């Protein structure tokens, strides 16, 4: 167990060395969420306390999934992904390693957005420790989601296209930008099926002291369980990839 964790960390470090400077990770993982947050800020005359948690959540989500997309699709294409399967480590261990590197890039992406919010709203998170926990949780769930998603993408050129095809609807259908409570009824039902809704709610609660639509405990529990589920499914996808 410890042994698997250790190896997962080695994989993550290796990934970060290899991919953090790739254009895909930088543009869609780090720049996009920041620019997006900036744009909203100017449109609304400043980041509202409502928007800030959503933007932070979005940054974590885009940062994490961009990294997994890059590191997995690219490696699978050139054949170096398979190296990981030669080592004495379980499929879950490999999935965890890939999740960890994405997790880290998610955190990095969130920093500029967080600073932006802090500078312009002057509101510190309501529950600082919980806020930290929420950030870690959202980055983790986004990462394992990204790892899982990466297994359906074959061509490196298509990574960001396919990723965005999934990410953008997820973003608009969840409560990242628009409060679910203000959505028409049918849309609010859809929002409640979105992983991103629960993830964002965890951050929102920690930041504002209240959730939009789901109870805080539900938001945290669902986010964590989804993260684990995506991780296990990703491990299964890796196992299945050895046709």
Partner 1 sequence: MLSNAIKRCDVKTSDRCAVRVEKLRKVYPNGTIAVKGISFCVKRGEIFGFLGPNGAGKTTTVRMLVGLTTITSGRAEICGYDITRYGKRVKKHIGVVPDISNLYSELTCYQNLLFSAKMYGIKGETARRNVEEILRFFGLEKYRNTRFKALSKGLRRRLTIAAALVHNPRIVFLDEPTSGLDVVSRRLLWNKLVKLNSKGITIFLTTHNIYEAFSLSHRVAVINKGKIVAIGTPEELSRKFSVREVLEVGFYPRNPAPQELLDSLRGVLDAKMNSGRLELIIDDEIEALESLASYAKRRGLRISLLRLREADAEEVFLRIIGEEK
- Residues 235, 240, 68, 11, CA torsion sign: positive
Residue nearer to partner 1 on the CB measure, 87 or 168: 87
Judged by CB, which is closer to partner 1: 18, or 166?
Answer: 18
- Asked whether the beta carbons of 31 and 42 are under 8 A apart, the reply is no
Whether 148 and 233 have beta carbons less than 8 Å apart is answered as yes
**Given the complex with partner 1, which of 10 and 50 has the nearer CB atom?**
10
If the CB atoms of residues 71 and 194 are measured against partner 1, the closer one turns out to be 71
Min dist. Cβ of residue 173 to partner 1 (A): 34
Q: Shortest approach of partner 1 to residue 147 CB, angstroms?
A: 18
* Rounded Cα distance, 101 and 106, in Å: 9
Nearest-approach distance from CB 174 to partner 1, in angstroms: 34
Sign of the dihedral through C-alpha 205, 209, 213, 214: positive
- Note the residues at the interface with partner 1 (CB under 8 A): 3, 7, 10-11, 14, 17-19, 21, 78-80, 82-90, 242-243
What three-state secondary structure class fits 124?
A: coil
Q: State in angstroms the smallest separation of the CB of 196 from partner 1.
A: 31
């Amino acid at each position: 167990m410890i042994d698997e964790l250790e190896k997962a960390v080695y994989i993550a470090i290796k990934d970060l060395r290899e991919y953090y400077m790739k254009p895909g990770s930088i543009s869609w993982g780090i720049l996009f969420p920041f620019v997006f947050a900036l744009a909203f800020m100017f449109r609304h005359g400043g980041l509202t306390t409502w928007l800030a948690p959503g933007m932070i959540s979005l940054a974590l989500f885009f940062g994490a999934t961009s990294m997994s997309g890059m590191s997995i699709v690219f490696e699978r294409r050139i054949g170096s992904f398979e190296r990981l399967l030669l080592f004495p480590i379980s499929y879950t261990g490999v999935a965890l390693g890939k999740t960890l590197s994405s997790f880290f890039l998610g955190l990095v992406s969130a920093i500029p957005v967080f600073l932006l919010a802090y500078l312009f709203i002057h509101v510190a998170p309501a529950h600082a420790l919980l806020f930290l926990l929420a950030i870690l949780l959202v980055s983790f769930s986004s990462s394992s989601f990204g790892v899982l998603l990466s297994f359906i993408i074959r061509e490196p050129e298509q990574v960001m296209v396919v990723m965005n095809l999934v990410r953008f609807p997820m973003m608009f259908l969840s409560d990242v930008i628009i409060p679910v409570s203000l959505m028409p009824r049918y849309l609010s039902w859809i929002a409640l099926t979105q992983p991103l809704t629960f993830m964002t709610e965890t951050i929102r609660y920690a930041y504002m002291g209240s959730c939009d639509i789901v109870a805080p405990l539900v938001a945290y529990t669902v986010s964590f369980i989804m993260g684990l589920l995506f991780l296990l499914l990703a491990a299964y996808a890796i196992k299945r990839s050895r046709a």
